[in-house]
Structure 1
Amino acid sequence: MNAIQETNFNFPGQTGFYRGKVRDVYAFPEKLIMIASDRISAFDVVLPRPIPFKGQVLNQTAAYFLRATSDIVPNWLLDTPDPNVSIGLKCEPYAVEMVVRGYLAGHAWRQYRDGHRTLCGVALPEGLRENDKLPTPIITPSTKAHEGHDEDISRDEILKQGIVQESEYVQLEQYALALFARGTEMAAKQGLILVDTKYEFGNLDGKVYLIDEVHTPDSSRYFYADTYEQKQQAGEPQKQLSKEFVREWLIANGFQGKTGQTVPTMSDEWVHQISKRYIELFETVTGTLFQPDEATEPLTRIENNILRTINK
């Protein structure tokens, strides 16, 4: 498979370039071109092998949900000229990620298991088990790190440090909860539970926009609704659609992104399994059949599609 590890284009009118954990971002005076590579990250570390079709899944899932939530909050997306490419407005990002949690899973559960009863300034009740539904969805923000680990932070600390002004932060909270409610409704129609997710916002000319990805396997966790209650009552792990299975595999193999730890070897079969899980998530979440783009020269395809759009 011709998995896309990275891109190194130089487009007419380009003013900047940034390589994130997963996306390669090309800046223009008023727009951004984001190319979703097939890189995969966990514990804020880019793993050594790309996953075939992961970028396409990520890009097309994000576009699907951006279009489906545009009535709630304006978003940055203008065009998707290629399976791996999104073009949108260039906004000034807020330096926080709005993480919304409806269930006690993943990082939140690991904190709770270790005895913490407050997460990002939000008090959690006693007696919860892993994957239990929370009384009401909560927002547990994190600071957006360009390198290294994102850090949990409380609402009070965000306002105290002046990272976001209070009037704007209230708006981000309202948008995040409304988006989570919409995502929950859409997931339910597909037999899924939206467990937790993260949203990123930016500002353009004094207006808040939803930016980056939305409700994708990299930013969200889903459970299967039909087996949720049965598995909770039996104390069994939930069947889920998310990147958590990759994190669990890494943890089982002695890696959590800590200093001195080495990423375990990823076999061809394991890479294939990850690819299959990403495609399964796309089809299950969107209710549409995934059409893999199997171009033998995906970088040429991407460059040509972008150039055609730029030259329009």
Structure 2
Amino acid sequence: MVEAIKKTDFTFPGQVGVYQGKVRDNYYFEDKIVMVASDRISAFDVVLPRAIPFKGQVLNQIAAKFLNATKDIVPNWLLETPDPNVAVGLKCEPYAVEMVIRGYLAGHAWREYRDGKRQVCGVALPDGLKENDKLPEPIITPTTKAAEGHDMDITREEIISQGIVSESEYIQLETYTKALFNRGTEIAASQGLILVDTKYEFGKHDGEIYLIDEVHTPDSSRYFYKEGYSDRQEKGETQKQLSKEFVRKWLIENGFQGKDGQNVPEMTDEIVVNISERYIELYEKVTGESFQKQDYSDALGRIERNVLEKL
């Protein structure tokens, strides 16, 4: 089986800092950031013990495609992608919130609703909804951006009253979030998919708001297949979806939700290969392009050479 990229440990000329996130290793320079998408996978805010071959390439290339497809809506941080696993862009000061937007009742929002809550992040939801129903209109359910541990639900009012984001800037973030979701929904529909929910992260550069990080990837978004969606809903059947939710469901079925005292179930070669194939399937379905697997024989050397050439 292909040996996945679990971590990187580069030292580049002019580098002023480094940060290892759940999935990406970020190398900081005076005015730029080199973001290396590893093959690590996280769920319930926990990095799982085994990395997934080609996952980083999938994330990096989907994100680049959608950043380029939405830059007319809001400026974004991306400058270039010198390697299938690498993005180079502007160093922005991130906002301490993630803008989650939902068009359907799925995932975390459904679990809250199922447990009797009729508000998510201060947004009221009507009675009588089923899992995966389309919402009357998309709702924004922001979360705090935790440096480590779990991101936490937060309301619009709390964000503004606590001074996390000013009211005028938050209104702008909401406007961008809705416009990006509309664009993502249109692109997904053209590929026979439904963009169910997603999250966006924003930052500031030279006083201007920029879209940062990844966009419309399987790690940040949930997709349903459009064909058969209505029939499955009417029959109460599980929706056919492309997202990381299948990983979460496998973990839940095996007694893990990231809570204290719980252990991650064994990730066999079969499980790892299955997850890898699902990510590649999502890439091809979302982009409409054939996935070209990169050579892993010297993946770290290839990444380092390509970054050094651009620097």
Q: Secondary structure at the match of 1:152?
A: coil
> Residue in 1 aligned with 2:43?
42
Task: Determine if the alignment matches structure 1 residue 82 to structure 2 residue 95.
Answer: no
> Residue in 1 aligned with 2:262?
261
* Mapping for residues 36-75 of structure 1, pairs under 5 Å: 36-75=37-76
2:293 partner amino acid:
P
How far the C-alpha of 1:294 sits from its partner, in A, is 1.8
Task: Determine if the alignment matches structure 1 residue 301 to structure 2 residue 279.
Answer: no
Distance 1:227 1:239 in 2: 9
> Residue in 1 aligned with 2:112?
111
How far the C-alpha of 1:2 sits from its partner, in A, is 2.5
Any conservation in 2 of the 1:61–1:216 contact (CA below 8 Å)? yes
Distance 2:205 2:220 in 1: 23
> Residue in 2 aligned with 1:246?
247
Q: Secondary structure at the match of 1:145?
A: coil
* Mapping for residues 74-223 of structure 1, pairs under 5 Å: 74-223=75-224
2:172 partner amino acid:
Q
* Cα deviation digits, residues 5-53 of structure 1 (max 9, x gap): 0000000000000000000000000000000000000000000000000
Unpaired stretches in structure 2, ≥5 consecutive residues: none
Distance 2:7 2:69 in 1: 29
> Residue in 1 aligned with 2:14?
13
What TM-score does the superposition give when structure 1 sets the normalisation length?
0.99
Q: Secondary structure at the match of 2:209?
A: strand
Distance 2:5 2:174 in 1: 35
> Residue in 1 aligned with 2:284?
283
Any conservation in 2 of the 1:2–1:297 contact (CA below 8 Å)? no
How far the C-alpha of 1:295 sits from its partner, in A, is 3.2
Distance 1:227 1:38 in 2: 32
Distance 2:296 2:122 in 1: 48
Q: Secondary structure at the match of 2:237?
A: coil
2:184 partner amino acid:
G
2:5 partner amino acid:
I
Q: CA RMSD in A?
A: 0.4
Any conservation in 2 of the 1:98–1:200 contact (CA below 8 Å)? yes
1:95 partner amino acid:
A
Distance 1:206 1:309 in 2: 27
What TM-score does the superposition give when structure 2 sets the normalisation length?
0.99
Any conservation in 2 of the 1:51–1:271 contact (CA below 8 Å)? yes
The alignment of Structure 1 onto Structure 2 pairs a total of residues equal to: 310
Distance 1:83 1:146 in 2: 26
Distance 1:109 1:227 in 2: 20
1:19 partner amino acid:
Q
Distance 1:122 1:222 in 2: 22
